A and B are shown apart, each in its own frame.
Chain A
Amino acid sequence: MTEALAIKGLAVEFDDFRAVDGVGFSVAEGESFGLVGESGSGKSTVLRAVAGLAPVTEGAISVSGETIGHARSKAFYRRVQMVFQDPYGSLHPRHTIDRALAEPLAVHGIGDSERRILKALDEVGLGKGFRFRYPHQLSGGQRQRVAIARALILEPTILLLDEPTSALDASVQAEVLNLLEEIRRERGLTYVLVSHDLAVVTHMCERLLVMQHGRPVELLTSADLAARRIETPYTRELMVASEGFRREEA
């Protein structure tokens, strides 16, 4: 199997703070890979470094075998796209959905935007009735669908998902997760999903990397996790914590 994304010895520094240190993993084509950790674990920073939104201090990132330099080319962005955490912050407040979807096509000089926009809206389950609405006229789940449509309209092969459902209600989360799975199946996409929720990551991904304080803790498969074949105490702690509150019996 070919590697869609490979990261080796990645370090990201902001001023004097090392947010990510010595992280490496590779994701096969068509695989779904998860990054789990608490706040400050550097999991989102890894994604942002891949996307070119955070500086790579050390290490190498390669997409489909090609090492990515400091400056990203337009071709890179046609291959790799990202969905952000906060559906309220990821859409331009003054642009209609139509404009949000037309913009990537205009940047890349892709014609036939009329058909593509309608198709993208349809694919994420929003009818064309949504096309000329503004973000403030949409619910959180609908906005996240638009963000997904915007990422897909360039037909990338790798989708970076940064906590795509953590700002959503549980029932809406289920709908968005189902949508993401369906799209992945249809298009054969590669996912890298970041989440603080172990259950979401195991549901969506085949393998996952647990991170803490910017460093990798444990790399394991979802099947291992579900069967509780866990090596490190930190992963176990996360696992216990995700099962809800337990009153210590006196």
Chain B
Amino acid sequence: MTNDAQTWRAWLTSERPASRRQARLGRAYAAWSRFADNRLAMAGLFIILALLLVAAFADVIAPYSAVTDGDLRTARLLPPSAAHWFGTDDQGRDIFARLVHGSRITLFVVILVAVIAAPVGLLIGTVAGYAGGWIDAVLMRITDIFLAFPRLVLALAFVAALGPGIVNAVIAIAITSWPPYARMARAETLTLRHADYISAVRLMGASPARIIARHIMPLCVSSVIVRVTLDMAGIILTAAGLGFLGLGAQPPSPEWGAMIASGRRFVLDQWWVAAAPGVAIFVVSLGFNLLGDGLRDALDPKAAGQ
């Protein structure tokens, strides 16, 4: 068994890969072992994996329903106990159950924003950086316009126009979070544009689209991924902020920000109502931050060159 593992390791770390697949896997393994050496990053990864599991098995884990009100006479604002681990809220609902179900909303927001914002930012940034000239000027002025507004204010405006709701909140956050990625991808493209290996591809007669898609984007992807992971905390907080202001998820949906908003009325006497979702937001944000830091070290092309 250990022998098998050693052969695998040798195969992965081979200096002389014999196939495309081996080369690719070897590279991934090198990045993984750099990542795995970083304990904090592993802690971050553990938190995010736990979040995924909780979201996937929410129905099994949660002991009560997240949305149906409890008995308002007996089950309202109960402190944490064996029956209700995190206590109950003002509608008599179990807070733990609501947190567990709320993780789905958090993941939904985070993934949807990443899927919309990152590719848009990457595309606009690399095209602007590579093309230069007026294309660059136009794309970057548009980016500047979006960057000029504070994110929450712009998101507020969009939600106000589109109407409150979690999907609209996601769209609003996505629209406001791509400009930094575009900026970053452009800056990186500018440093790459005059590299000899890009000149060499131009000398093959490759089209600009091919150069951007196959040669420049892969180099910008890792830093965008890192940045998106680091931004996740901010995205969760913005979603929570919109929820808190009543513009995101609508009651009775167990969105963490909305839960804090409803808990703030009793924050002095029944602190757990607001504290539990607050801690959840904090832990998940921390998890994404640690993961992002670890990814930055593991994916850094300079470190990969060693």
B132 to chain A, nearest CB (A): 13
Docked Cα-Cα span, A92 to B17, in Å, equals: 18
In the complex with contacts A132-B22, A134-B27, A77-B16 CB distance below 8 A = no
Question: Contacts of B218 on A, CB cut-off 8 Å?
Answer: 94
Chain A contacts to B: CB under 8 angstroms: 51-53, 72-74, 76-78, 80-82, 84-86, 89-94, 96, 98, 103-104, 107-108, 129-130, 132-134, 136-137, 147, 150, 154
B29 at the interface (CB under 8 A from A): no
B195 at the interface (CB under 8 A from A): yes
Do residues A92 and B306 form an inter-chain contact, with CB atoms below 8 A? no
Question: Contacts of A104 on B, CB cut-off 8 Å?
Answer: 204
B265 at the interface (CB under 8 A from A): no
Do residues A81 and B20 form an inter-chain contact, with CB atoms below 8 A? no
Between-chain CB contacts (< 8 Å), 27 pairs: A72-B205, A73-B205, A74-B205, A77-B203, A78-B205, A80-B203, A81-B203, A84-B196, A84-B199, A86-B196, A90-B196, A90-B200, A93-B197, A93-B304, A96-B23, A98-B20, A98-B23, A107-B201, A107-B204, A107-B206, A130-B16, A132-B19, A132-B23, A133-B15, A133-B17, A134-B23, A147-B200
B210 at the interface (CB under 8 A from A): yes
Do residues A132 and B18 form an inter-chain contact, with CB atoms below 8 A? yes
Docked Cα-Cα span, A239 to B301, in Å, equals: 42
Do residues B203 and A82 form an inter-chain contact, with CB atoms below 8 A? yes
Docked Cα-Cα span, A148 to B117, in Å, equals: 40
Chain B window 209-240, contacts with chain A (Cβ cutoff 8 Å), 1 for yes, 0 for no: 01000110011000000000000000000000
Chain B contacts to A: CB under 8 angstroms: 15-20, 22-23, 27, 195-197, 199-206, 210, 214-215, 218-219, 301, 304-306
Do residues A77 and B219 form an inter-chain contact, with CB atoms below 8 A? no
Do residues B200 and A82 form an inter-chain contact, with CB atoms below 8 A? yes
Docked Cα-Cα span, A43 to B77, in Å, equals: 81
Docked Cα-Cα span, A143 to B289, in Å, equals: 37
Do residues A89 and B20 form an inter-chain contact, with CB atoms below 8 A? no
A241 to chain B, nearest CB (A): 28
A98 to chain B, nearest CB (A): 6
Question: Contacts of B301 on A, CB cut-off 8 Å?
Answer: 93-94
Question: Contacts of A154 on B, CB cut-off 8 Å?
Answer: 204
Do residues B196 and A108 form an inter-chain contact, with CB atoms below 8 A? no
Question: Contacts of B204 on A, CB cut-off 8 Å?
Answer: 77, 103-104, 107-108, 154
Given A85-B196, A93-B305, A96-B17, 19 more pairs with CB closer than 8 A: A51-B199, A53-B199, A74-B205, A77-B203, A80-B203, A84-B199, A89-B195, A92-B201, A92-B215, A93-B301, A98-B23, A103-B201, A103-B214, A107-B204, A130-B16, A132-B16, A132-B22, A134-B23, A136-B305
Docked Cα-Cα span, A149 to B17, in Å, equals: 19
Docked Cα-Cα span, A90 to B214, in Å, equals: 16
Residue of A nearest to B194 (CB): A53
Docked Cα-Cα span, A103 to B305, in Å, equals: 22
Residue of A nearest to B302 (CB): A93
Question: Contacts of A93 on B, CB cut-off 8 Å?
Answer: 197, 219, 301, 304-305
Docked Cα-Cα span, A133 to B196, in Å, equals: 19
Residue of B nearest to A53 (CB): B199
Q: Return the contact of A53 from the options B22, B202, B206 (Cβ within 8 A).
A: B202
Question: Contacts of A147 on B, CB cut-off 8 Å?
Answer: 200
A53 to chain B, nearest CB (A): 6
Docked Cα-Cα span, A109 to B22, in Å, equals: 26
Q: Return the contact of B196 from the options A73, A89, A134 (Cβ within 8 A).
A: A89
A23 to chain B, nearest CB (A): 21
Question: Contacts of A82 on B, CB cut-off 8 Å?
Answer: 199-200, 203
Docked Cα-Cα span, A89 to B191, in Å, equals: 12
